Chain A
Amino acid sequence: MSLRITFATAGRILRQLRHDRRTVALLLVVPALLLGLLFFMYDGPGATFDRIALTMLGIFPFVIMFLVTSIAMLRERTTGTLERLLTTPLGRLDLLFGYGLAFGLAATLQGAVATGAAYWLLGLRTTGSAGLVVLIAVLNAVLGVALGLFCSAFARTEFQAVQFLPVVVVPQILLCGLFVPREQMAGWLGAISDVLPLTYAVEALTQVGSSAGLTATMGRDLVVVAGAAVVALTLAAATLRRRAP
């Protein structure tokens, strides 16, 4: 692995993104608009809006970066650029971390815009700081990138790639505690919820809502999410073979 090549790769991915202005605009604006929608659904600021908006600030970057990455990586595979890259000095981890870095940066911008809109325009109130919310959002985005890189190995077409969203992402949203509190779930559902990384991200966000500063639970949650991202990246590296049949 080479830092120079990783940074060059991240720069290349960001340059590709920059040429696609519409995607950049959608990435930056859509989460804030959806939060606005929630604001009106729940009749303005209040405890319910605070709880749901806070959770959504973690879910949006996860979902969006998962989708964007799956498609970007699938493109690398289908256009032959991946095969070509693997004949150059680029290491597999250079490519994967390049993606993580590039979309992680994009997610930081996205998270800053969405969090800023939530606090300043929509009156979101949390006991903990907005900075922690952005941090968790970025970590979730990196998790989404890592899972997207891994899942794209199992898709041959864009149609298949988007189908991994309901398979990999939606169950995590359903079981993260947003719809049914985790302690009210049947035991087996709770057990599934326990092994899904998004559960920990949502728990960390809930902690930001109720406590000032970094709590022990929050710290553990962040380590779990980061660990899940590393595991997914490692699995993704295992799917990147220099030789194909």
Chain B
Amino acid sequence: MNSVGVTMENAIEVRDLVVERGRRRVLHGISCDVAAGRVTGLLGPSGSGKTTLIRAVVGVQVVRSGTVTVLGRPAGSAPLRREVGYVTQAPSVYADLSVRENARYFAALHGLGAPVADRAIADVGLAAAAGQLVGNLSGGQRSRASLACALIGDPGLLVLDEPTVGQDPVLRADLWSRFHELAAGGTTLLVSSHVMDEAGRCDRLLLIREGLLIGDGAPAAIRARAGTDDLEEAFLRLIQERPEVAA
């Protein structure tokens, strides 16, 4: 299913993206690229515009101006609906269905059968809980159930909004190595997080604050530019470099 993305250098290209929600301008003309076959982290504090940028990438956000190109097509265009897996911040799975029933429904939407659904459940470590109602799961399990539904159909691009919130450290490490396995297989991942200790696990980072891109590059490059080994500290220094942030 990765046919659209494999030859491209950038899976996502965002140019001068401006988004307003209500009367508030949330993104102030962002331009950035997400390299194909890599894990790119979208880092920034809560309220910085991460989710809005992600929604623009999956094509559910009305944008004021600018363009978002995903796997060579305008974001949200019909062929992309088979190529992009999306996990929203709040686990968007049906609480009144079991994990298996959820996964099988999303598999059916892609024209795929039960074995694919069961494999996705096993991939996120929920095989033992497959028969349980999602509403009875813990928060961390619920977001893994949501992730399983996004893995179905082997999308060329996975867009994950804070997928590791509420996971215990061991599971979090498992999920990150799973993300890198997927990237090694050619999948592009865009993963948002507000936790800086996850930044070091990404191949590339996009740092965003108050709707502006303040850093873009490999973790090592960002560390070097800010002159510190600590990414949290690097982020702080990058913010201080540009104290004037448009309201």
Which residues of A does B touch, CB under 8 Å? 4-5, 8-9, 11-12, 15-16, 19-20, 79-81, 83-90, 242-245
Contacts and interface: CB of A to CB of B under 8 A. Distances in A.
Nearest to B63: A243
Contacts of B94: 12, 16, 79, 81
Contacts of A8: 105, 108-109
Interface stretch (B81-89, B204-212, B230-238): B81-89
A220 B224 CA distance: 77
B59 interface: yes
A36 B60 CA distance: 49
A90 B108 CA distance: 10
B110 A88 contact: yes
B96 A12 contact: no
Contacts of B95: 79
A15 B76 CA distance: 29
Contacts of A83: 60, 88, 92
Nearest to A79: B92
Nearest to B80: A87
Contact of A12 (B22, B88, B105, B133): B105
Q: Identify the 8 closest CB pairs spanning chains A and B, nearest first.
A: A80-B92, A8-B108, A12-B105, A84-B92, A80-B88, A88-B109, A16-B96, A87-B86
Interface string B52-90: 000000111110000000000000100001101010101
Contacts of B110: 88-89
Interface of B: 20-22, 58-62, 76, 81-82, 84, 86, 88, 90, 92-98, 101, 105-106, 108-111, 133, 149
B21 A79 contact: no
A80 B95 CA distance: 12
A15 B97 contact: yes
Given A8-B109, A86-B60, A89-B109, 12 more contacts: A5-B109, A12-B108, A15-B97, A16-B96, A19-B97, A19-B98, A84-B88, A85-B109, A87-B58, A87-B84, A89-B110, A242-B59
B111 to A, nearest CB: 7
A243 B58 CA distance: 10
A5 B108 contact: yes
B69 to A, nearest CB: 16
A93 to B, nearest CB: 14
Given A8-B109, A242-B60, A243-B60, A88 B97 contact: no
Contacts of B109: 5, 8, 85, 88-90
Contacts of A11: 105, 108
A19 B96 contact: yes
Nearest to B58: A87
Contacts of B93: 81
B96 A81 contact: no
A242 B97 contact: no
Given A16-B96, A19-B97, A88-B106, A244 B61 contact: yes
Nearest to B161: A80
A89 B105 contact: no
B62 A243 contact: yes
Nearest to B22: A245
B90 A12 contact: no
Nearest to B20: A245
A4 B60 contact: no
Contacts of B98: 19
Contacts of A243: 59-62, 76
Nearest to A5: B109
Nearest to A245: B62
